[in-house]
Structure 1
């Protein structure tokens, strides 16, 4: 079935909060030499990690990841920083410790730190109302608008649904950051304010604007000058647009047409950099982890931020439901508590508190994990959309430092992947079984064409071209595809960009006179990244439907 190899982007990483990521790739891999950076007085690896290179290469092979970079810090020292495999399939350049990857939502911790630093300077309070700094800010509910605090922007408890509003910048759109935030007033709420956890990215766009308003600097300048420079992250960049030819940069990879692993062009997210824009190497991320584990202190003893600020960032604001592992092999991962602080997930493993985050980007996913009481940190950056890979590597490292016996996490995550693939097949089979194959469209094909308007996204155009319907999102260059009849007044749109893995059903509702009243969309696969929030669109005809016919 074509749905077997859907691989989610995990933009906000909610899918990785399940104890296994939903679905990843099959089992071919590129091979390449490993590359490491030696450090003076580098501590020895634990005995359980003496075969670590072979283990990581096995992970790459199992989950079809061209390149992985790993850094481990312990007690303020770098234990390991090393690359494995290739920057890009078909090219000889290896991944090394200085290879930059998109760290995606691991950026959120930098945004949280920036706000806390501004609070320490007295330029804001984390309990200030957002409208104190952005008077024009609006949510769809006046109460939420009035009561939204700076801290709430970082905690995923606003009442928005999972990934709500992500289509305003994912895939890249032509909206500015301010235009994205201004459109929030039309994004519907799914729950009451502060009542439930639901991962979002759009409120980090609001946080980005608050940082700029209060500091008088662009977000990029603030992060570069106030965080990267003092930490020593000399190679890190705030956004893809800062990449230059010849830089040591990994290329992302995804499954095209659900089977073939191919490079994914870099994506700029300049209208929401605070949610996930940063590019960094494990060499730089090791420095960031050491600052975090030192309570905000820099190597020279000065404070980047205070211990009190860190306690706030690492304190649970939003409890999260604890799910059962999807397969028995992952039973050991079930936490006793789970929640979100300010830009960090909080949970436990084998009796140790974890402070961690994941990140997902087109062709790249990553994980940063801190064990504060052990002064231990591990970062895993990858150039394929395989959460299974970075989890298998992370938990091998954690077990080694916790003195646990070796566990075959590669096999455990492979079992979870297999189950997720089976669930995807089952979902598709249900769609097929429910489909009335003889249920032809009610109207002539040309009648489904027109411009349709959603209050928060804007216009989506459907035209008839060469006897087929074509859908185009007006602000998103990548969302262009062909609509084919599915059943009755429902179509399936297949995007021209086959790396998106986000085909969707498009359902028309007609009024009593057979005129189009509304259009709704939903992803075809349950494994489509949640940032394709098609289900939140409420499309209505922007004007009388017109037929746009080309030969």
Structure 2
């Protein structure tokens, strides 16, 4: 499920210290340096080093290929050293912009069937005439749960002897009109390359919003422009607002960060008794409990009629897949429980969802002046709002025919708010002012607010997840931020406390994640004089995206393979994910109706002979189901990295 994995890869605080990072310059690969996460094993040999995850089923290799004439040859030479006879078919090899001292970077992925549950990759890096290759092979489940640690290796993979940019202690340049114009120009130049129709933005400093507005349109094919009050689904940016509610309750003595959840809410249950008895309020939003995402269970079944208590029902049987406090694993359902527990504390006896909504309105939205923000999709869509978009199966921008914003509504403390650039800036401004409102009154104590930023689980180089906020000191520049992603929407807020400035950005496209990431880099370039990398990186990423869609289109059969369709039942059911009604079309096409949404389907044959049914409609293009024999029919299997769900034919 290539596209689904990236969509969900849409993500902690403990008393214990986070995983230690040790700078490594292995003797076996002296031309490269990187950091090895605590608990990982490094083994060296001449010209190479192997780094293995604690589970033993996932390894990365850094292999020198100094005499290779190009990236493809370097990768072949590296595999010949690590795994003689390696003959996997390359799916796609694409060039990325040079960075961190590398002159050239190529990323290669391979044809892998979902049923293999295998991570397989090769990145080739060139400095001067010499190549170094980073290979990866192993369990997709281990890669998923150790993603934060793996990002550290990738983020710090640099040529030996290249000085890391470090602007610690350097004053930032003023974020004046010219620099703001440069950021807006960056967006204007890159949005068309990614097929993004519109965005809203706001810039602010400690005195308030300095500039706000929009670029592009709310809906492709319609003239209405995006403005600062256009509502977008802000998804996981709701989490920080939820933890701000918790912080206010901590100030009032109604909750404690270290209070056990079962003491705050006697009805709280988890599938693992140890986790249930141990988990504290802070752990609900720290991504540190070892609980995996399991997002498919709400994505595929949730709608606007699903009751809020469903979040607790889904949590009850869940069990951790890593140790408590070991790695970063993002759980939307745990975060939703945090908000609902807070609502229950304030308004006991009120329906779970209504109590949370009322608490957020009175404790957060009203005091901050967030008049555009709502949990009601009906309210959002009655006024100025942006529609979701994505690329279609041919790689062309299109209005999303599938709006999955309904799915999160029952778990809305984790990601169900609709908001505008203006309102999100008011929230982020409160983060920058550390709890002091523009009128000088204090909304929340600095102690309670900053507890949410306390260094938690590692998410990348010098990056840590707190409670609904992520803090980074990469390049020696402190940034506090959080992102939000639902199919068709991507949002982010960033503050630079030392510079006293920040911005928010809201995009109405599934493909805009790179714009969020490269904007952070662009800020460091403009304010601190960092090397100019963001523009080139964005352009290369856009080219790679188009190549990815073009390649995948060559592998899709549209209409789907008749032989596969002939073995489909008329209806499928899964205990966890609900049902699929299979609707055959007169033109040979097939539509899968999942109840909460439907999509046209294509087929894709894998290298191992298996076949996937692949969704074709924006914003879920590429989400897929594997086929497995079930008598004279196929069973259908939907997977994330750590779970699989089987739909059995019932007629």
Q: Tell me which interval the TM-score lies in, with the shorter structure as reference length.
A: 0.7 to 0.9
- The separation in 1 between residues aligned to 2:331 and 2:289, in whole angstroms, is 9
Aligned 8 A contact 1:371 1:377 in 2: yes
Aligned 8 A contact 2:339 2:356 in 1: yes
- The separation in 1 between residues aligned to 2:392 and 2:332, in whole angstroms, is 26
Identify the residue that residue 25 of structure 1 maps to in structure 2: none
Identify the residue that residue 539 of structure 1 maps to in structure 2: 646
Encode CA deviations 1:146-202: one digit per residue, 9 max, x unaligned. Answer: 2121111101122222x3134324574353221232122333432122221112211
Unaligned runs of 5+ in 2: 12-143, 153-173, 348-353
Identify the residue that residue 281 of structure 1 maps to in structure 2: 420
**Does 1:499 pair with 2:628?**
no
Provide the TM-score with structure 1 as the length reference. 0.75
Encode CA deviations 1:373-424: one digit per residue, 9 max, x unaligned. Answer: 222211111112211223334433343233x167252321222344466678
Aligned 8 A contact 1:490 1:505 in 2: no
- The separation in 1 between residues aligned to 2:647 and 2:8, in whole angstroms, is 28
Identify the residue that residue 93 of structure 1 maps to in structure 2: 224
* Distance change >3 Å, CA 396–CA 218, structure 1 → 2: same
Residues 460-539 of structure 1: pairs in structure 2 closer than 5 A: 460-461=579-580, 476-479=595-598, 486=605, 490-495=610-615, 497-508=617-628, 520-522=637-639, 533=640, 536-539=643-646
Residues 293-312 of structure 1: pairs in structure 2 closer than 5 A: 293-312=432-451
Which residue among 508, 513, 518 is the counterpart of 1:387? 513
How many angstroms does 1:498 deviate by?
4.4
Q: Secondary structure at the match of 1:271?
A: helix
- The separation in 2 between residues aligned to 1:122 and 1:203, in whole angstroms, is 22
By relative contact order (CA 8 Å, sep 6+), the higher-ranking structure is 1
Encode CA deviations 1:348-397: one digit per residue, 9 max, x unaligned. Answer: 23312111111112322111111112222111111122112233344333
Identify the residue that residue 238 of structure 1 maps to in structure 2: 375
**Does 1:315 pair with 2:454?**
yes
Aligned 8 A contact 1:11 1:105 in 2: no
How many angstroms does 1:450 deviate by?
6.2
**Does 1:106 pair with 2:243?**
no
Instruction: State the aligned residue count.
Output: 477
How many angstroms does 1:306 deviate by?
0.6
Identify the residue that residue 567 of structure 2 maps to in structure 1: 445
Aligned 8 A contact 1:509 1:517 in 2: yes
Aligned 8 A contact 2:579 2:647 in 1: no
**212-221 vs 496-505, which deviates more?**
496-505
* Distance change >3 Å, CA 453–CA 77, structure 1 → 2: closer
Identify the residue that residue 205 of structure 1 maps to in structure 2: 336
Which residue among 361, 366, 374 is the counterpart of 1:224? 361
Unaligned runs of 5+ in 1: 20-42, 323-334, 433-437, 523-532
* Distance change >3 Å, CA 138–CA 379, structure 1 → 2: same
**485-494 vs 71-80, which deviates more?**
485-494
- The separation in 1 between residues aligned to 2:189 and 2:634, in whole angstroms, is 54
Aligned 8 A contact 1:460 1:471 in 2: no
Provide the TM-score with structure 2 as the length reference. 0.64
How many angstroms does 1:515 deviate by?
9.2
Identify the residue that residue 388 of structure 2 maps to in structure 1: 252
Q: Secondary structure at the match of 1:243?
A: helix
* Distance change >3 Å, CA 149–CA 283, structure 1 → 2: same
- The separation in 2 between residues aligned to 1:46 and 1:406, in whole angstroms, is 21
* Distance change >3 Å, CA 464–CA 373, structure 1 → 2: closer
Encode CA deviations 1:493-514: one digit per residue, 9 max, x unaligned. Answer: 233644312432324366xxx6
Aligned-residue CA RMSD in angstroms? 3.8
**93-102 vs 259-268, which deviates more?**
259-268
- The separation in 2 between residues aligned to 1:350 and 1:251, in whole angstroms, is 36
- The separation in 2 between residues aligned to 1:371 and 1:465, in whole angstroms, is 53
Identify the residue that residue 165 of structure 1 maps to in structure 2: 295
Aligned 8 A contact 1:169 1:271 in 2: no
* Distance change >3 Å, CA 177–CA 52, structure 1 → 2: same
